[in-house]
Chains A and B, each alone.
Chain A
Amino acid sequence: MPDWKAEIRRQLAGLKLAPVREAEIAEELAQHAEDRYRELRSGGATDAEACRTAREELSGHERLARELRSVERPNAPEPFVLGAGSKGGVLASIWQDLRYGFRTLRKNPGFTAVAMLALALGIGANTAIFSVVNGVLLRPLAYPDPDRLLMIFESNSDFSQSSVSYLNYLDWRRENRSFTEMGAIRSDDFNFTGRGQPEHLSGEYVSASLLSTLGVAPFMGRNFLPQEDRQGAGCAVMLSYGFWKQRLGADPNILGKALTLNAMSCAVTGVLPADFRFRESAQVYVPIELYNSIELRTREAHMGLVAVGRLKPGVTMQAAQAEIASICAVLARQYPKTNAGHGAKAVRIMDDTVGFIKPTLMLLVGAVGFVLIIACANVANLLLARATARKREFAIRAALGAARGRIVRQLLTESVLLSVGGAAIGLLLARWGTSLALAAAPGSLPRASEIGIDPYVLLFTLAVSLATGVLFGLAPAFLGAKANPQESLKEGTRGAGGGRHRAEGVFVAAEVGLAVILLAGAGLMMQSVWRLLRVDPGFNPRNVLTAQVALSPQVMVNPPAIRPAYEQLLARVAAIPGVQSAAITSLVPLGESDTENPFWPGGGPQPAQDRMTSAMFSIVTPDYPSAMQIPLRRGRFFTPQDNLASPPVVVIDDVLARHVFAGQDPVGKQIGIMVLGAARIVGVVGHVKFWGLDADDQAKIRDQIYFPISQVPDKFATEGALGLTLVVRTVPDPLSVVSAVRAQVAGPTQDQPIYAVRTLEQIMSGSLAERRFTMLVLIVFAAAALLLAAIGIYGVMSYAVNRRAHELGVRVALGASRREIAGMVLREGMHLAGIGVAGGLAAALGLTRLLASLLYGVRPADPATLAAVALLLGAITLLACYIPARRATAVDPVVALRSE
């Protein structure tokens, strides 16, 4: 019997039918011919006769081809995407791809949901971090031409950036040729009275030139005039927009009205724009010459003042810095006692504002990139699995004439649709996540108020989602399009191209590796924070309330009344039930401010500035060590008998004792302190980690000197009485006594507010805010990575078990025990994870070094951390393989073999 199919195909050849249609017709007609042949044979015809007749009837003198030509159209274009090239042009075919992609995604809601969720996590995290980077690092500051604005600090052997003496600033401003304008600013607190409850305001003393230097015009009213920035001028004040709006009810007639600040009557000259921010966000601004302090006229006093300059066009930062340095050299010759060894350092205002956080943010950008790659690998795996399941579909399309490029494009369209959908959800996650993170870690980021979703962030998200869509879609698309139609159409359920399994294995191992890196980072950060929390700060932070206090304006204008006012205030607070002891200090450890004072051993005359070292200088009351629980090492602390009538005394810490009096007993020795003169050391206390739990060990100035508030000379009493802090040790929860403390501090005149109320524990944890924020973000990323990696392993293993059901069935039939089968699956999973863990650990060794500056007490390549991470991933892998392994043991050999 002839090969009818081949004969028919020959007859159809001229018709150029689509391959699938041709095959169908050939099959049907060949059957007919065969039936006819059998019939003829059984009717008695010879083989040759039967063949001839059947053949004649089949072709009917070319009739078949003729008739078919009028019925069948060659390679008929199909309704969608199947065609090699559609008539509608590129746009129409893209639209077609989108519609079709949308439909296929909707048909598989489970797959679509999982893939989109993974992408939403990845893209959302990236959007969140980018919105932070955008708001903090990229968005220009709200001044015209901010790149030309420089912050200028003094520098000396102790500090590369220290605050500036006002007199030096005036000389810089007068002598320089590099800046169009220069201004000065110094933060201070103001007591606001005369309008209801006394209130404490954050404020700035500013030079009249500051706003014009920054290029900021008031929202309302005018800037300070030069004659208002003079000693003896009447007090003028400018208000922040927020203060004017919230506290003064946006009074439209506020200009010219008077506010009482620090018992001065200050006329309002202007209101600043709503978006004005310079360093701290202050509520009121007062001309700096009104800072009624001896410090303003003392060249050695540095009092936290900073200078700002706007570069002239064409002048570089280096040239300006060099010029200021040369002015400094002249000043050092002119005033060797105060200026020897003092230089200047200029920093771009942007770097000054956000420079310190940049490495941390870059680190997080890297980490979040890993999360996205993991999410991509996961989705790529899902798509690979789906591409295998859809092999038949691609094969039919290819058979019907779809070009390979077109199939790739269709698949990419689907993956981009997925990623754009994921990005939409991710955007919501990002918005929600950033506000949550910022709320969880307040104060850890500068410019936090400028973080948000803006067009740049949206653009970034769109770009990332398109890029990721192409990235994770490429491999599955090419593997899918590679399908050989004939093979695929014939192929049963078992076995699929090896390329896919290799790719899958690579993706899973990469996911695990990246998860290892993130986990190692998070683990190291957690260890650092944990160790830092256990560092002994030198005092006992538990159950201590701190609050800044301001004395009544009536007291402030009368220096001799200031000391008794404090004593009475302390006595009232100490009498509150639950209060163990109460003290006052000018400095709180780990806080934002510091005061250094140069000193010299022995009671001799003051040596030149560069021959003295500086010590942290705190002015305190006698109960300070008991309130803080700072141990007394030798001698005694202050008593009420140390007063203006008795010789001046100081207490030093054991670091200064070792540093200056190595081997001798410092008690009874004399020490000279700048401005105050000689004093006798009466005691030695334990060192307090003033500069921070981690940074203190490396700090240049670690010596500490305590001076009794009762011996502060009257001429320093007024400014010394501003910004003092009350420290209260309590038996119950310290926050439970806040209202009692507030009431007792207010006093009989009811005009002494407390503000900045915090517990010492809050201050301590605040000092770790940046590190804690980094830790928190890394933990979240690592957890997401771990989850995605676990899903990845689970997906690959369960797919492998399904695919190998037949093989497993054979094994069971041949006597493999369930334990062996489960072991096999687990081994395979562990093998993949093992490769990932090994690669991840190797990479982690290199990458965790980037964390070094944020680590404390743990090396970047900490073996314990890395081992723990490897173990954790091993455990997670076991867990992820458990269900597929269970399923593998449940394979029924009979069912598995029958399904063939």
Chain B
Amino acid sequence: MEDKSIDREWKKGSAELLLLSLLEAVPRHGYEIGKLIEQRSEGALRFHAASLYPLLYRLEKRGWIHGQWVEKSGQRRRRYYRLTPQGRKMLASQRQGWRTFVDAIGRITGVENA
């Protein structure tokens, strides 16, 4: 069920970029992040809890994102993650790297960059 369309290593390499991108505009909690990845990739990409959370913790430990328990009225408290300034820099540089990588692959494979 997992890794149906995209190779596991590819996903791993790009996962950080995905997470950082999703946190760029607003803070989100883990479940929301997983959901968004699934929706926006139209089901092509899926992160289950077992890989999503360790990755979040790793990014947090590196200081790229910061998690915080937030209590909203009528709800259980949830841990929301937001991008740190350092994370914002990393996102920009990873985006640039990804673009270069995709361009290169495109030139070689003849697949146009969308």
Contact = CB atoms under 8 A, between A and B. Distances in A.
Interface of A: 24-25, 28-29, 31-33, 35-36, 57-61, 63-64, 67-68, 70-72
Nearest to A68: B54
B57 A64 contact: no
A64 B49 contact: yes
B64 to A, nearest CB: 13
Given A25-B53, A28-B30, A32-B31, A71 B61 contact: yes
B76 A71 contact: no
Contacts of B39: none
B48 A57 contact: yes
A63 B51 contact: yes
Interface of B: 30-31, 34, 48-55, 57-58, 61, 76, 78-79
Contact of B54 (A24, A35, A59, A67): A67
Contacts of B55: 67
Nearest to B33: A32
A25 B34 CA distance: 17
Looking at B48, B58, B76, which has the most chain A CB atoms within 10 Å of its CB? B48
Looking at B57, B58, B78, which has the most chain A CB atoms within 10 Å of its CB? B57
Contacts of A70: 54, 58
Contacts of B34: 32
A31 B54 contact: no
Given A60-B48, A60-B51, A67-B50, A72 B31 contact: no
B50 A60 contact: yes
A57 B53 CA distance: 12
A24 B34 CA distance: 19
A64 B54 CA distance: 7
B50 A63 contact: yes
B87 to A, nearest CB: 16
B50 A58 contact: yes
Given A29-B53, A32-B34, 7 more contacts: A24-B79, A36-B31, A57-B48, A64-B49, A64-B53, A67-B54, A70-B54
12 contacts: A25-B57, A28-B79, A29-B53, A31-B76, A31-B78, A32-B30, A32-B31, A57-B50, A60-B51, A63-B51, A64-B50, A71-B58
A68 B57 CA distance: 8
Nearest to B54: A67
Contacts of A67: 50-51, 54-55
A64 B52 CA distance: 9
B49 A36 contact: yes
Contact of A32 (B53, B54, B57, B61): B53
A61 B50 CA distance: 9
B89 to A, nearest CB: 21
B36 to A, nearest CB: 13
A60 B57 contact: no
A209 B61 CA distance: 89
Given A71-B57, A71-B58, A71-B61, A31 B50 contact: no
A58 B49 contact: yes
A28 B50 contact: no
A675 B78 CA distance: 111
Nearest to B61: A71
Contacts of A71: 54, 57-58, 61
A43 to B, nearest CB: 13
A28 B56 CA distance: 12
B84 to A, nearest CB: 17
A64 B49 CA distance: 8
A466 B32 CA distance: 57
Nearest to A65: B50
A35 B31 contact: yes
A28 B53 contact: yes
Nearest to B59: A71
